[in-house]
Amino acid sequence: MLDELRQRLQALQKNTGIDDGPGVLPLGIAALDATLGGGLARGALHEVAAAGEAHLASATGFALGLAASAWHLLWIAEDMALAESGAPYGPGLDAFKLKPERLITAAVAHRRDLLWAMEEALHCRALGAVIGELRHGAIDPVAVRRLSLAATASGALALLLRAQPADDASTAATRWIVGAAPSGDDTAFGPGAPRFAAQLIRNRRGPLGSWILEWRDTDERFILATHPQPVAAPLLDRPRRKVA
């Protein structure tokens, strides 16, 4: 499997790579781009975690939205992630205008193999983004540091997609927690556009924040569904108050 992946990456290197090179990827939302210092940093590692198991599909959609501008995208997943969450779904990829010829998928048995494969893939300058999907548990900080350095060297987006929030040490440029938000009103053609409750909980460039974002497939980008607003802590996390 790894030899086949290496051959496909070598073939991609014959094509054009990243259009704009390192820098930032503006998301087109003034408040969000300002918080990020102009946009999402290219050539950097970013972490996207689901707010809970039920929100993994939303976190996956958010990661895809961030990587949608990449001409070639590599998606690497642990076998356990594929067994519990399934493989990328064709109609879902269509919603993000991700054509099959732009996507390469790979499966690995162990987390160490996933991190190694991500690092090797980031050395391929034909790839615009690499997503690594893993389940629960902490990640070796040395491996995370190596991913950050590899992304910096290539100028690609490196995205770690996690099934739940983590508090382990990380060199990621940003850390997000993403959950599902109610979509807009139903239309005659079905439910409204998908919405995401996105919390930026780590930002090496400064401020944090939370937004309700909507994916607009007509021009393939996120828009602001509501004004930025704080996200209330779950009820179980609030201090208990005595009842008179």
CA 14 to chain CA mean position, Å: 26
Identify the pLDDT of residue 118: 95
pTM for this predicted structure: 0.80
Identify the pLDDT of residue 189: 55
Distance CA 65, CA 34 (A): 19
Distance CA 191, CA 200 (A): 27
Identify the pLDDT of residue 82: 78
Identify the pLDDT of residue 14: 41
- List the alpha helices (DSSP H) in the chain: 2-12, 30-35, 56-67, 79-85, 90-95, 111-122, 141-154
Distance CA 8, CA 2 (A): 10
The predicted-structure confidence for 61-117, as pLDDT tens digits, reads as follows 999 999 887 778 999 998 877 777 777 777 777 777 777 788 888 999 888 999 999
Q: Residue 32 is encoded by which pair of tokens?
A: 């969000």
120: buried, middle or exposed (CB in 10 Å: 19+, 13-18, 0-12)? Answer: middle
186: buried, middle or exposed (CB in 10 Å: 19+, 13-18, 0-12)? Answer: exposed
Q: Residue 82 is encoded by which pair of tokens?
A: 């594929």
CA distances from 11 to 6, 96, 127, 131, 157 (A): 9, 25, 11, 19, 20
Identify the pLDDT of residue 137: 77
Q: Give the chain's domains with CATH numbers.
A: 2-185+193-229 (3.40.50.300)
pLDDT beneath 50: ranges in the chain: 13-21, 227-244
Q: Residue 117 is encoded by which pair of tokens?
A: 């494969």
Contacts for 167 with CB less than 8 Å, ≥ 6 apart = none
| Degrees to nearest 5, angle at CA 32 with 29 and 38 | 90
